[in-house]
């Protein structure tokens, strides 16, 4: 079933948005597409409003940083509850320009998810109605989930790396 859904959506995206689709995968039987960041909003809108696909529910939205630490990304999990279809949409952009259009006009629930993603990764959602920190203090000048920040307090001397298998 997942392979059929992948093929069906891939065909529709390639026809409607030439050049937008970067990859189509099925990791762990989960339909996953990587979309060029310039087409992300249009693709999300299509997936939501197409009467047959009808991905009307935004399950989750989060940020990520690639292993090479050169790109940030946003991952969207969408769900069609009527047919129990699920799809993952990913978009990546360079660290020096972490911007992507907001999805709050499509799913109002994206509001706090985008604020959290901004708060921890520094990804700016263009058009967001109130993009400000949601969990960290306003005075914080770093984005703590980025890999350039250490996980542990480097000033502590009461811990030995041997304790952690390093």
Q: Convert the pLDDT of each residue in 9-63 to its tens digit.
A: 999 999 999 999 999 999 999 999 999 999 999 999 999 999 999 999 999 999 9
Q: What is the pLDDT of residues 89-112, one digit of tens each?
A: 999 999 999 999 999 999 999 999
pLDDT at position 159 is 67
pLDDT at position 166 is 52
Of the two residues 72 and 161, the one the predictor is more confident about is 72
CB 110 within 8 A of CB 104: yes
Give the whole-angstrom CA distance, residue 79 versus residue 21. 19
Q: What is the pLDDT of residues 65-84, one digit of tens each?
A: 998 889 999 999 999 999 99
Q: What is the pLDDT of residues 114-141, one digit of tens each?
A: 999 999 999 999 999 999 999 999 998 8
pLDDT at position 89 is 98
Q: What's the first-to-final CA gap in the chain, in angstroms?
A: 43
Helical (H) or strand (E) element with 111: helix 110-121
CB 106 within 8 A of CB 48: yes
- Model confidence at 6, in pLDDT bands (50, 70, 90)? very high
For residue 160, is pLDDT > 80?
A: no
State whether residue 33 is helix, strand or coil.
Answer: strand
Q: How far is CA 155 from the centre of its chain?
A: 33
Domain with residues 2-151, CATH architecture: 2-Layer Sandwich (3.30)
CB 116 within 8 A of CB 143: no
Map tokens 């030439």 to a residue.
18
Chain length of the chain? 166
Closest residue by Cα to residue 147 from 55, 63, 25: 63
The structure's pTM equals 0.89
């Amino acid at each position: 079933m997942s392979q059929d859904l992948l093929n069906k959506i891939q065909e529709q995206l390639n026809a409607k948005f030439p050049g937008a689709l970067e990859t189509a995968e099925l990791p762990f039987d989960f339909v996953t597409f990587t979309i060029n960041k310039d087409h992300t909003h249009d693709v999300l809108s299509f997936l939501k409003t197409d009467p047959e696909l009808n991905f009307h529910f935004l399950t989750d939205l989060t940020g990520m940083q690639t292993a090479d630490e050169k790109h940030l990304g946003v991952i969207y999990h969408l769900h069609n509850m009527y047919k129990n279809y699920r799809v993952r949409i990913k978009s990546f952009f360079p660290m020096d320009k972490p911007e992507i259009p907001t999805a709050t006009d499509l799913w109002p629930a994206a509001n706090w998810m985008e604020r959290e993603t901004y708060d921890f990764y520094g990804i700016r959602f263009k058009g967001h109605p109130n993009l400000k920190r949601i969990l960290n203090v306003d005075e914080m000048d770093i984005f703590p989930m980025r890999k350039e920040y250490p996980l542990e307090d480097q000033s502590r001397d009461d811990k030995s790396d041997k304790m952690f298998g390093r």
